[in-house]
Amino acid sequence: MTEIAASAKPRKAAVSFTGGKDSMTVTNLLLNASIALEASKSWPEDVRDAWAGDLKSRLETVAGCELAMLVTFVPVGAPPFKAHPLEVMKLQAAALGLPHLVMEVSAAPTFLDSYHHNITQLRTQHGVDVLVTGDMLDVCSSFMPRAAAGTGVQLLSPLWDINRRLLLELVWAYGMEPVITCVNVTKFVEPSKQQDKKEDKREQDKQGAAGQQQGQGQQAGAEVCAAAVVTVGAGPAGAGGEDGDGAPGADYAARLLGQPLSRQLHAELLLPAVERFGVDEAGEWGEYHTMVLASRLFHASAAASAASSSGGDGGYGGRPPVQLVLGPHTPQREADYAYLTHHGPPRLVERQ
């Protein structure tokens, strides 16, 4: 009886949070899995059974987890993230009714040690049993698993190796509106040109990318790895490169940047780019990054205690749905990246 009772006790979980579609998908699944399960009933018939089964197996990996907070790891003294603004994350957390913890990491003595210390602090100071990430691929030589090892905190990645179309279906099932905040221009060029560029700058990449990955590129998986890299305008895929005005990369950046990741944009721009350039349609190789401005679980004065209620839009007792609105912003190009420069603070408004 004692073992059964212990196993039934909820495990206190935190999500390694960037505010992008991946960490937000994990957050939404933990808060209200019933929305995804209901949506699965209307998925295309040829994939419905396989995807629904896959979803259920992924949910089983986080069974018994009770989401208590969102946590963002920020390098000490680093410039603000360009792809994932911290002020937007704070509003997202408020709309979800969840505490948002910002933890500083540093290179002293090493980033691995700093992460290890902070993850241990999640357990000892906040009672966290499980740290959940939105990772789908191995990032920075399994940095996060190494950082979590020996901390007493279990690391879970329920989206690991997920079918990209299934991921996007989950994004849309929750009514998310991810806006594309950063595009790696060099990803949207012909494969032969990508190879030529890599050959030309191989030594530069070895030096620059190694520093990036050892330092800022280790927060919470692929999204933040690139987000931090964007902060200094360089990245593993070819730091400091230019594709030339009018090249496909610049054209795609102009058409993607600042746009919502909708079904229409996916069909009209991303799927053709998959065929033409070999990109990952969900941006998992750093092709683009997002911030989620809306979700069915965003509500005014939302309370974390209400998040576990079932059905509908999260059961927030009549609290009006809200969404984020970015402040004035303009596109900017720096080295390989095009991103949004913000000239005013974001805000929460009632969703119409």
- 94-134 pLDDT, tens digit per residue, is 999 999 999 999 998 999 999 999 999 999 999 999 999 99
pLDDT band, residue 285 (cuts 50/70/90): very high
Positive or negative, the CA dihedral 212, 266, 179, 59 is negative
**What pLDDT is attached to residue 18?**
96
Please report the sign of the dihedral spanned by the C-alpha atoms of residue 302, residue 305, residue 307, residue 310. Answer: negative
Cα separations in angstroms, 272 against 141, 182, 252: 30, 19, 11
Can you tell me the distance from the alpha carbon of 200 to that of 194, in angstroms, rounded to the nearest whole number?
10
What's the pLDDT score for residue 201? 44
pTM over 0.95: no
Higher pLDDT, 323 or 229: 323
pLDDT higher than 90, residue 325: yes
What pLDDT does 82 receive?
85
| DSSP 8-state code for residue 287 | S
pLDDT for position 161? 97
The whole-number average pLDDT for the span 6-32 is 92
Token readout for 306 is: 């209400």
Report the pLDDT value the prediction gives residue 226, as an integer from 0 to 100. 38
pLDDT of residue 252: 87
Is the pLDDT assigned to residue 54 strictly greater than 80? yes
Is residue 331 predicted with pLDDT exceeding 90? yes
Residue 249 tokens read as 């990369």
Beta strand extents in the chain (DSSP E only): 11-16, 65-75, 100-105, 130-132, 154-156, 178-184, 288-292, 322-325, 329-334, 337-342, 347-350
Q: How far apart are the first and last CA of the chain?
A: 50
231-236: Cβ within 8 A, 24+ apart: 231/78, 231/79, 231/80, 231/81, 231/82, 232/79, 233/334, 233/335, 233/336, 233/337, 234/208, 234/335, 234/336, 235/184, 235/209, 235/286, 235/336, 235/337, 236/205, 236/208, 236/209, 236/212, 236/286
Other Cβ atoms less than 10 A from the Cβ of 326: the count is 19
Domains of the chain: 2-164 (3.40.50.620), 176-293+324-350 (no CATH)
CB 156, CB 62: distance < 8 Å: yes
Provide mean pLDDT across the span 178-189: 95
CA–CA separation, 220 and 157 (whole Å) = 11
In the predicted model, what is the mean pLDDT of residues 3-27? 85
Contacts of 181 (CB under 8 A, 6+ apart): 82, 83, 84, 85, 257, 258, 289, 290, 291, 339, 340
**21 falls in which pLDDT band (50, 70, 90)?**
very high
The pLDDT, as a whole number, for residue 228 is: 37
Cis peptide bond upstream of 260, omega within 30:
no
**Do residues 307 and 98 make contact, with C-beta atoms less than 8 angstroms apart?**
yes
What distance in Å separates the CA atoms of residue 155 and residue 144, rounded to the nearest whole number? 8
Using the predicted structure, report yes or no on whether residue 298 has a pLDDT greater than 90. yes
Give me the pLDDT at residue 8, please: 67
Residue 4 has pLDDT above 60, yes or no: no
- pLDDT of 176 above 60: yes
Residue 317: per-residue pLDDT: 56
Question: Tens of pLDDT along 205-259?
Answer: 443 333 333 333 334 333 333 333 333 333 333 333 344 444 678 888 899 999 9
The pLDDT-based confidence of 190 (bands split at 50, 70, 90) is confident
**Which residues make beta-bridge pairs with 11?**
65
pLDDT of residue 236: 30
pLDDT at residue 172, rounded to an integer: 98
- Mean of the per-residue pLDDT values for the chain? 83
